Amino acid sequence: MILHEKISAQLPEWRSRVTKLVKEHGNAKIGDVTVGQIYGGMRSVKALVTDISYVDPNHGIRFRGHAIPDVLERLPNPDGAEMPYVGGLYYLLMTGEFPTKEEAEAVEAEWAKHADLPAHVFNTLRAMPKDTHPMALFAIGVLALQGESRFAKRYAEGMNKMEYWEPALEDAIALTAKLPVLAAFIYRLKYKDGSEPKYDPSMDYGANFARMIGVETPGYADLARLYFILHSDHESGNVSAHTMHLVGSALSDPYYAFSAAMDGLAGPLHGLANQEALGFLISVRDHFGGVPTDEQLRQFAWDTLNSGQVIPGYGHAVLRVPDPRYVAQFEFAKKHFPDDELFRVAQMMYEVIPGVLNEQGKAKNPWPNVDAISGTLQNYYGVTEFDFYTVLFGVGRALGVTANYVWARALGQPIERPKSLTTKMLEDAVEGE
Ligand code: CMX
């Protein structure tokens, strides 16, 4: 299998780099931790390592060192498509190299082999109450697949730790292969006829997803490709990525770890902000009967802030500029449907909200994040059920977190276990300062 061959060839050098670094510089200090950071969600504490992606506060995400426009330009596209193969992005995340078209297609072919869901997954989800949130169904569906884990089986048989990454990679591929089918089934179960989707091996990942949720409008397969690529990874400290890493560090297999990660993505301050953001846009549009003036929107935003709520889709823990994932989606909408009413509301938000947040003076970053506009694009193509949007985020996020899982096992990252203190200890530590 192509990713196995590539990683296998790269591994000796990576292992010796890490071993050398830790052996020769294990006591070197990278930063200090303040009391404010301990109480403040560990913001900016440098305590994780990943080579899959990096978020530069002033430039945004770099996938394996490459900015989004570069990634979209250099990854190969399916014939006639505007956006690249998602399988090509997975190759880049896993190996750090841009694939040829054949290599991207080899990853896509691998996915096609593993895409089918066992019957009990469909049945488990059918047994859930109708009003279960799609993210709960998604996490349950993933957990219901756990029995398929090669990692768990090999571990139970007594596996050498140098081999952990191999069944981890098999699980990563099988899991990411199944997610579009799982997501499409949840969509059909919640909002359509509840029939079981079937992956078509003659189509790529993005086109398959578009077909399985029943959106055949030209352009939507490209949006699906773009969406999964943009949401794939955002370094290691965000809630979903960190959860995957933490749970995986106990050698829980990728199914357990990813299901837990999705529970974190389902929070409104993280992935669920995409459903909240579209809800906000719609309430603005409905309140004003269309696109508001900037003065009207300013007042609406202030009313929201004064009632103790956040403006969803704005702000970020690391970024200090408009999120390039927002910019890429904005450009897509501008090209394909510049006159769409909700897109025009989103544009007005971009003009007004940063000023309001700056005036309020609390948010460190007043700019839009990935979630501010993603629902607008889905809505345009008829995917109007916005409680489904975080599931789409989850399908994309799987690409990054599973690549991280494989490399964490390959490089022998140990169980994660930071140290806790008590408030009294902190008070004693600062006494006399
Ligand atoms: N609207 C209102 N207030 C905001 C705000 C926003 N969009 N963004 C930040 N603030 C407030 C915070 O709530 C905080 O207030 P308190 O001091 O009263 O607690 C203050 O500004 C400082 O926050 P910060 O340091 O700038 O931001 P954090 O790192 O603590 O939080 C985030 C980051 C994303 C949770 C926050 O900006 C937010 O709640 N945004 C809205 C929700 C959202 O869009 N989340 C999606 C993020 C991307 C993703 O993970 O999917």
User: Which CATH number goes with the domain that contains 297?
Assistant: 1.10.580.10
Helix axes 86-95, 389-410, angle to 10 degrees: 30
Q: Is residue 180, in this structure, part of any structural domain at all?
A: yes
Active-site option among 234, 245, 270, 323: 270
Q: Is the CB of 62 under 6 A from ligand 1?
A: no
Host domain of residue 128:
1-30+48-417
Return the DSSP state at 162.
Answer: G
In this predicted structure, the answer to whether residue 296 has a pLDDT above a threshold of 90 is: yes
| More confident call, 94 vs 218 | 94
Number of domains in the chain: 1
Pocket test for ligand 1, best of 314, 349, 357 (most atoms within 8 A of CB): 314
Q: Is residue 428, in this structure, part of any structural domain at all?
A: no
**pLDDT classification of 387: cutoffs 50, 70, 90:** very high
Report the nearest atom of ligand 1 relative to the CA of 318: 29
pLDDT at 243: 98
Distance CA 260, CA 85 (A): 27
Q: Is residue 431, in this structure, part of any structural domain at all?
A: no
141-150 per-position pLDDT tens digit: 999 999 999 9
Tell me, in angstroms, the distance from the centre of ligand 1 to residue 427's CA: 28
**Stretch 393-413: mean pLDDT:** 98
Q: DSSP letters of 384-420?
A: --GGGHHHHHHHHHHHHHHHHHHHHHHTT-----PPP
Q: Is residue 424, in this structure, part of any structural domain at all?
A: no
The rounded mean pLDDT for the chain is 97
pLDDT at 224: 98
Give the predicted TM-score (pTM) of the model.
0.96
Distance CA 330, CA 352 (A): 16
Distance CA 181, CA 133 (A): 17
Q: Is residue 43, in this structure, part of any structural domain at all?
A: no
Residue for token pair 């499409």:
184
**Stretch 308-319: mean pLDDT:** 95
pLDDT at 433: 83
Q: Is residue 35, in this structure, part of any structural domain at all?
A: no
In this predicted structure, the answer to whether residue 218 has a pLDDT above a threshold of 90 is: no
Q: Is residue 41, in this structure, part of any structural domain at all?
A: no
Q: Is residue 308, in this structure, part of any structural domain at all?
A: yes
48-102 per-position pLDDT tens digit: 999 999 999 999 999 999 999 999 999 999 999 999 999 999 999 999 999 999 9
Nearest residue by C-alpha to atom 45 in ligand 1: 269
**pLDDT classification of 204: cutoffs 50, 70, 90:** very high
